[in-house]
Structure 1
Amino acid sequence: MAKIIYTHTDEAPLLATYSLLPIVEAYARTAGVDVETRDISLAGRIISQFPERLTDDQRIDDALAELGELTMTPEANIIKLPNISASLPQLKGAIAELQGQGYDLPDYPENAQSDDELAIRAKYDKVKGSAVNPVLREGNSDRRAPASVKNYAKAHPHSMGVWSPDSKTNVATMGHDDFRSNELSVVLDADDTLRIEHVSADGSVTVLKDAVPVLAGEVVDATFMDVAALDAFLAEQVQRAKDEGVLFSIHLKATMMKVSDPIIFGHVVKVFFPAVFEQYGDQLAAAGISPNDGLGAVLPAVDALPDGPVIRAAIEQGIADGPALAMVDSDKGITNLHVPSDVIVDASMPAMIRSAGHMWNADGEEQDTLAVIPDSSYAVIFQTVIDDCRAHGAYDPATMGSVSNVGLMAQAAEEYGSHDKTFEIAEAGTVRVVNAAGDALIEHEVRAGDIWRACQTKDAPIRDWVKLAVNRARASGAPAVFWLDETRAHDANLIAKVKEYLPEHDTEGLTIEIMNPADATSYSVERIRRGEDTISVTGNVLRDYNTDLFPILEVGTSAKMLSIVPLMRGGGLFETGAGGSAPKHVQQLLRENYLRWDSLGEFFALAASFEHLAASTDNARAQVLADTLDRATGTFLAENRSPGRKLGTIDNRGSHFYLALYWAEELAKQTEDAELGAAFDALATRLRNDEQKIVDELLAVQGSPVELGGYFRPDADKVTAVMRPSTTLNAALETLNV
């Protein structure tokens, strides 16, 4: 039987799965397609690491490892929903919840010393941060707005703020002594095993990582951030924000850059409150209170200290004395410095730009902002867009073109600073990348506290990336621009490879350019103002940034993108969009049994998955399901059946009902398969006749709090009851039989 793997993830996408998946399973069965789930949620990943401590009923397999193996086969067909990329506070929260549910899990050993503690921390670190994507992404990324979404956005343009030419909003970035400026890069001539080591001033050597396997043609980079320069830069920006009367905000990626960015976030907190950490820093450290976890963790922990009230008062005074802070939730007093994972650069910057360069202040009002992005690798793209909007006003979703993306990410290419090769330096010395022969390929002089990191980019993914870029340019007719900077070490090596591999493809009649990120951004925004489309061909981090930045401006969200990962071994991975708003949606469901999550990304991924299955297994009915789902999604958009924003309108569950209705109606009237059409004609008639009854049943449950039995690992029976409240719809699905 043909198979699609549907991932069981976290938060709002998980809750939505309980409503949507029964529909998908019922429809897929008519084509002989089995839809199976695999648990790659944060809680599931944690549980899978400690089978020896759990009962038989509690143990679960390491589904992520299983799917990683599957991606290496031609049979892979995986629909991947957004999952939690856990920051340390989220990881600790999940552990505490699971312990409360009876799982005998150890606490996270913050200051691991013994072998047992180090082993426990290593297991937890495997699931922290961006643990899922590097395993599953055995292909490069093809991400774009589907025509139906783009057409809907043009017909129903979303709101955009009004930019003022006098806007004081800007991006602040280091430009020196940061990851961008300290980068060194080499291309390996042959297969090898590298070693990363630290050599102290007295000549003693500490091995930081003893074995880094590399292949011929692989690009290896290393760099570091000088934290003394970082602190000086941050102090300047705090003062600048105060002098200019704008909000201060820090924009990092603490979820994905799970080693480096929480450390940088901690530096921001310490610099913003210099008096607090100068006077009480040792006391806080002795109590295990880390600024890396943000004020949201520091303030409750401080209250338990003997000097707690005094320290809390000092923090409050620091807020009063400093520049106004950008707020995550003004009503609850949650600032930009409360939680490292609350303000994620690729989502927060486009949202700010869409809102005329504003973030929210403590009074719940919009205000110009100084967006601090310490590393200068890609900060320029946001400044370029801000400058363009300041000069020409907001973009018009009704007329603007698209910027799609072909992203280099296969085999953990440029993987967010390569977490297993990122280190906070303990003492001054030299960090070296050494080959098996003992030759130092890369060397950096570092000081205590500096953040050093290395990453790898294999040659095969680069070749595949170039091929995918040419294919997309040929299929779309749009120019393809490689966003690469010849003055940056890593990019210079990639440019050489791009120039080597482009002649392997037929590029006649195509426009294919190489531009640095600033010029590429200017080129792209000039084109979108003229209603013209452009393909951004980027590395991994910029893939993440661009696939939020442009969709949020173009169609209002990045959750409605078509995201296909053609796996290098012939399989397919189909991603369903971003999950940055998922926590807020869960909170609303818990308060009032209303889920605003929009599953449109799942609809697009599912259609692409059926299409891939049809081609790879010669399954004609799977192609019929793909074609009819695509048409049904167009009707779904035209009829505006996405979840509303308030009680009394359909939410996620209601949107799933309408998708089921429109899909059944499309299947009923297709002419390729008469038997299939007859079966769905009966279902479509039943759903249409019972439309009001089903909608009434779905609306009736709204307005009251619900209890799910857990946030990170909710009770399946409770979630099912909440997410499938229409007995009429449930009964109708059970009648489908072909």
Structure 2
Amino acid sequence: MKIIYTYTDEAPALATGSLLPILETFAAAAGVEVETRDISLAGRILAQFPDRLSAEQFTHDALTELGELAKTPEANIIKLPNISASVPQLKAAIGELQAQGFDIPDYPDDPQMAEEQEIRSRYDRVKGSAVNPVLRQGNSDRRAPASVKAYARKHPHTMGPWSSQSRSHVATMSDGDFRATELSMTVPEATTARIEHVAKDGTVTILKPDLPLQAGEVLDGSVMRVAELRAFFTDQVTDALESGLLYSVHLKATMMKVSDPIIFGHAVTTFFPELIGTPGWDPDDGLGALPAGTTVNYEGKPALAMVDSDRGITNLHVPSDVIIDASMPAAIRASGQMWNAQGLQQDTKFVIPDHGYAALYAETIDDCRRNGAFDPATMGTTPNVGLMAQAAEEYGSHDKTFKAPSAGTVRIVDAHGATLIEHEVQAGDIWRACQAKDAPIRDWVRLAVGRARATGAPAVFWLDETRPHDRELLVKVRDELSRLDTQGLQIEFLPVAEATRFTLARARAGQDTISVTGNILRDYLTDLFPIIELGTSAKMLSIVPLMDGGGMFETGAGGSAPKHVQQFVRENHLRWDSLGEFLALAVSLELVADRDANPRARVLAQTLDRATGRVLEERRSPSRKVGELDNRGSHFYLALYWAQELAAQGDEPELAERFGPLAERLAAAEGRIVAELEAVQGAPVDIGGYYHPNLALVDAAMRPSATLNTVLADFR
């Protein structure tokens, strides 16, 4: 069994340039092959246009290949964070590739001709969360490893103090949103349905001609009513101004690549109504896309939360800058405040339009206001079992989300002509369908019971009897639980607000709770709790037991990766922490050991775990400050400690004998290697591109220690 290590984007891709040679060196000693596949945004774009590239430029469609591999028992994939591209990011990547000589077309904003529509369809396969639905052929098991949790308790990170007088709060809709309009059903028999829009005059427009449905899958439809959305935004702008609060909008325009950019555009134009109709501008792309010279008037408006106060980047500049699962936990950790234009923290109105999951953050803010900040030294841990296999739930809705062209009806019609779900819509309303297949739901339940049995912690299904989708799920969940041995286990069913209160109370009491959630809550919770518990979600172990027998191991969140790259090119200091990669490598090696009966691979995994623990305990994680240890130095110490652990173990004496000299050479050269790694810091570095960097330049920048390179080469 091979390990497939993915090459992705931004800081994780840079870190790969330093870490991968170390991994390959150690894995080869156990006969383990490591191969890479490029699933970066640039790589995915180029793979869509083989007909426009020269032979030298040809880019293999690695994502499709890995999607097929993920459906086999041979899959062993380490998946690093990748860009889930908003339209501005996609356009920027296209422009960079064109400047590098790749003959790819511009992104057509309003495709009319058949050729433009075909180009747009290719780009639509790339933008947003294009990777995860393809690779996630299993459900999610995400948790803080015991060693990481112990370290966080022993060395707690700082938390901003909370005031009982804090006026920060969540504002959300109560009607007219996706949650309020949701309809759901369990499909009785396999069919191929279609989604269509029926105008008031009876004209039928097919929105999606082929929608395969399996017997037993849960099918939803819902609509965001734009009139209610705009009224909600307008009310919140007025209230923020009168209350003196920062105004901030929190969406997921990267994953919800059709609906949330449109919602973001309405947020922009309700805050700046005078900009409506600006020539050459799509509000969905944010203020950052305004034509040069356009005047933006901030007078008479509430203060906007800032993404980057120094550069004047507001919460409404770029849709991909306001990723809710990164921005909300960061604000909760920072006293429930965001940054204003003066670079100071301020109480904030957190505007989360759809009320389906807003209660998670509302309840957490209320809890902190009552009880103060959480204490990482004493709080319990909240692992997650998430339903995400086979594009389950909302994050798999991209190809079934549409902006209503006119007033009428949007409906799902089966092969017999029967209407399964329908909604009345007005022009501009956002309609979407979601699916969750029967097999992934049952696999999710089994995974949750297994984790509860292994840990003894209660398992809480975050399911709400009053939500149509959850009612359908609960029928399957209870049926599957009746088939399993649950004796002695505590299993709860709670809606979002109650589940949040239950989990937070246990966390404050130092107790652990397994959250068992759908796809979006999986994403939100596995950032919120790790950021509070550990300081970052990058320190979580994320295992995806693939339903067909293989494994995928995800390495943490990449929400802060753009800022890391900015610092790197400015100062040649990469503060990205590869701890998530270390953790994923260990469990990936364990899978190799199990499948191939490879005892050396098991020893590599065990010693890597111990080496990772030493990296933490001996404070060898990357510093944020230039001139101190960065990502490259952290990788050196992992190699040193890993070699020392291998040299000291006795289960595989041949491995010990082989790695002993390497451990000695690395230890003897420690001072020289660290000096070489730190000597390059402080000056700008050229990597030849942001989305499509020059790999030779990246390799030179990420491997600046000639001594370390020589030692590893000699060992190989």
Deviations 1:551-580 (A, max 9, x none): 000000001100000000110000000000
Cα pair 2:503 2:513 within 8 Å, conserved: yes
1:551 to 530, 541, 550: 530
Deviations 1:496-552 (A, max 9, x none): 111110011111110011100110000000000000000000000000000000000
Deviations 1:134-189 (A, max 9, x none): 00000000000111111111111111111111100000000110000000001011
1:519 equivalent in alignment to 2:465:
no
Shift of 1:205: 0.7
Shift of 1:368: 0.4
Residue type of the alignment partner of 2:514: I
SS of the equivalent of 2:409 reads: strand
Counterpart in 2 of 1:260? Answer: 259
Residue type of the alignment partner of 1:327: M
Q: Give the Cα–Cα distance (whole angstroms) in 1 for the partners of residues 145 and 522 of structure 2.
A: 17
Counterpart in 2 of 1:296? Answer: 288
Shift of 1:15: 0.3
Residue type of the alignment partner of 1:435: D
Q: Give the Cα–Cα distance (whole angstroms) in 2 for the partners of residues 675 and 33 of structure 1.
A: 16
Q: Give the Cα–Cα distance (whole angstroms) in 2 for the partners of residues 139 and 417 of structure 1.
A: 14
Shift of 1:415: 3.9
Q: 1:81 to 1:408 in 2, by over 3 A?
A: same
Cα pair 2:458 2:513 within 8 Å, conserved: yes
1:710 to 661, 686, 689: 689
Q: Give the Cα–Cα distance (whole angstroms) in 1 for the partners of residues 396 and 624 of structure 2.
A: 37
Cα pair 2:611 2:641 within 8 Å, conserved: yes
Cα pair 2:168 2:347 within 8 Å, conserved: yes
Cα pair 2:646 2:659 within 8 Å, conserved: yes
Counterpart in 2 of 1:641? Answer: 620
SS of the equivalent of 2:656 reads: helix
Q: Give the Cα–Cα distance (whole angstroms) in 2 for the partners of residues 641 and 358 of structure 1.
A: 30
Counterpart in 2 of 1:528? Answer: 507
Q: 1:276 to 1:168 in 2, by over 3 A?
A: same
Residue type of the alignment partner of 2:131: V
Counterpart in 1 of 2:234? Answer: 235
Counterpart in 1 of 2:324? Answer: 345
1:632 equivalent in alignment to 2:611:
yes
Q: Give the Cα–Cα distance (whole angstroms) in 1 for the partners of residues 28 and 601 of structure 2.
A: 10
Alignment RMSD (CA, Å): 0.8
Residue type of the alignment partner of 1:143: R
Deviations 1:294-327 (A, max 9, x none): 11111xx152xxxx4xxx1xx22xx121101100
Q: Give the Cα–Cα distance (whole angstroms) in 1 for the partners of residues 24 and 484 of structure 2.
A: 40
1:541 to 520, 529, 538: 520
1:727 equivalent in alignment to 2:706:
yes
Q: Give the Cα–Cα distance (whole angstroms) in 2 for the partners of residues 712 and 370 of structure 1.
A: 34
Q: Give the Cα–Cα distance (whole angstroms) in 2 for the partners of residues 604 and 361 of structure 1.
A: 37
Shift of 1:616: 1.3
Q: Give the Cα–Cα distance (whole angstroms) in 1 for the partners of residues 385 and 642 of structure 2.
A: 30
Residue type of the alignment partner of 1:548: D
Residue type of the alignment partner of 2:407: A
Counterpart in 2 of 1:414? Answer: 393
Residue type of the alignment partner of 1:293: D
Counterpart in 1 of 2:99? Answer: 100
Unaligned runs of 5+ in 1: none
Counterpart in 2 of 1:204? Answer: 203
Q: Give the Cα–Cα distance (whole angstroms) in 2 for the partners of residues 505 and 186 of structure 1.
A: 25
Cα pair 2:407 2:426 within 8 Å, conserved: yes
Q: Give the Cα–Cα distance (whole angstroms) in 1 for the partners of residues 627 and 71 of structure 2.
A: 46
Residue type of the alignment partner of 2:596: T
Map of 1:685-704 to 2, 5 A cutoff? 685-704=664-683
Cα pair 2:133 2:396 within 8 Å, conserved: no
Residue type of the alignment partner of 2:615: F
Q: Give the Cα–Cα distance (whole angstroms) in 1 for the partners of residues 649 and 705 of structure 2.
A: 28
Cα pair 2:194 2:208 within 8 Å, conserved: yes
Counterpart in 2 of 1:423? Answer: 402
Map of 1:61-100 to 2, 5 A cutoff? 61-100=60-99
Residue type of the alignment partner of 2:259: S
Cα pair 1:417 1:453 within 8 Å, conserved: no
Q: Give the Cα–Cα distance (whole angstroms) in 1 for the partners of residues 552 and 48 of structure 2.
A: 24
Deviations 1:374-403 (A, max 9, x none): 000100010000000000101000000011
Q: Give the Cα–Cα distance (whole angstroms) in 2 for the partners of residues 53 and 415 of structure 1.
A: 34
Cα pair 1:165 1:391 within 8 Å, conserved: yes
SS of the equivalent of 1:248 reads: strand
Counterpart in 1 of 2:415? Answer: 436
Shift of 1:613: 1.1
Residue type of the alignment partner of 1:502: L
Cα pair 1:417 1:454 within 8 Å, conserved: no
Shift of 1:417: 5.7
TM-score (norm 1): 0.96
Unaligned runs of 5+ in 2: none
Paired residue total:
716
Cα pair 1:145 1:404 within 8 Å, conserved: yes
Q: Give the Cα–Cα distance (whole angstroms) in 1 for the partners of residues 92 and 212 of structure 2.
A: 34
Shift of 1:276: 3.2
Q: 1:146 to 1:45 in 2, by over 3 A?
A: same
Q: Give the Cα–Cα distance (whole angstroms) in 2 for the partners of residues 619 and 222 of structure 1.
A: 48
SS of the equivalent of 1:127 reads: coil
User: Which region of structure 1 is more displaced relative to structure 2, 287-296 or 720-729?
Assistant: 287-296
1:380 equivalent in alignment to 2:359:
yes
Residue type of the alignment partner of 2:281: I
Map of 1:41-190 to 2, 5 A cutoff? 41-190=40-189
Shift of 1:735: 2.4
Counterpart in 1 of 2:629? Answer: 650
Shift of 1:645: 1.3
SS of the equivalent of 2:715 reads: coil
Deviations 1:182-231 (A, max 9, x none): 00001011111111011111111111001100111000100000000000
Cα pair 1:134 1:415 within 8 Å, conserved: no
Q: Give the Cα–Cα distance (whole angstroms) in 2 for the partners of residues 221 and 3 of structure 1.
A: 39
Counterpart in 2 of 1:681? Answer: 660
Counterpart in 1 of 2:645? Answer: 666
Q: Give the Cα–Cα distance (whole angstroms) in 1 for the partners of residues 313 and 59 of structure 2.
A: 36
Q: Give the Cα–Cα distance (whole angstroms) in 2 for the partners of residues 519 and 97 of structure 1.
A: 47
Q: Give the Cα–Cα distance (whole angstroms) in 2 for the partners of residues 264 and 690 of structure 1.
A: 55
SS of the equivalent of 1:107 reads: coil
Counterpart in 2 of 1:620? Answer: 599
Cα pair 2:396 2:435 within 8 Å, conserved: no
Cα pair 1:139 1:409 within 8 Å, conserved: yes
Shift of 1:358: 0.5
Map of 1:368-517 to 2, 5 A cutoff? 368-416=347-395, 418-517=397-496
Q: Give the Cα–Cα distance (whole angstroms) in 2 for the partners of residues 422 and 539 of structure 1.
A: 19
Deviations 1:436-471 (A, max 9, x none): 000001110000000000011000000100000000
Q: Give the Cα–Cα distance (whole angstroms) in 2 for the partners of residues 414 and 467 of structure 1.
A: 18
Counterpart in 2 of 1:14? Answer: 13
SS of the equivalent of 1:573 reads: strand
Map of 1:241-280 to 2, 5 A cutoff? 241-277=240-276
SS of the equivalent of 1:320 reads: coil
Cα pair 1:409 1:415 within 8 Å, conserved: no
Counterpart in 2 of 1:363? Answer: 342
Deviations 1:465-497 (A, max 9, x none): 000000000011100000011111101101111
Q: Give the Cα–Cα distance (whole angstroms) in 1 for the partners of residues 92 and 222 of structure 2.
A: 32
Q: Give the Cα–Cα distance (whole angstroms) in 2 for the partners of residues 219 and 449 of structure 1.
A: 26
Deviations 1:692-724 (A, max 9, x none): 000000011001101111110101111100000
Q: Give the Cα–Cα distance (whole angstroms) in 2 for the partners of residues 590 and 571 of structure 1.
A: 38
Counterpart in 2 of 1:195? Answer: 194
Q: Give the Cα–Cα distance (whole angstroms) in 1 for the partners of residues 459 and 607 of structure 2.
A: 31
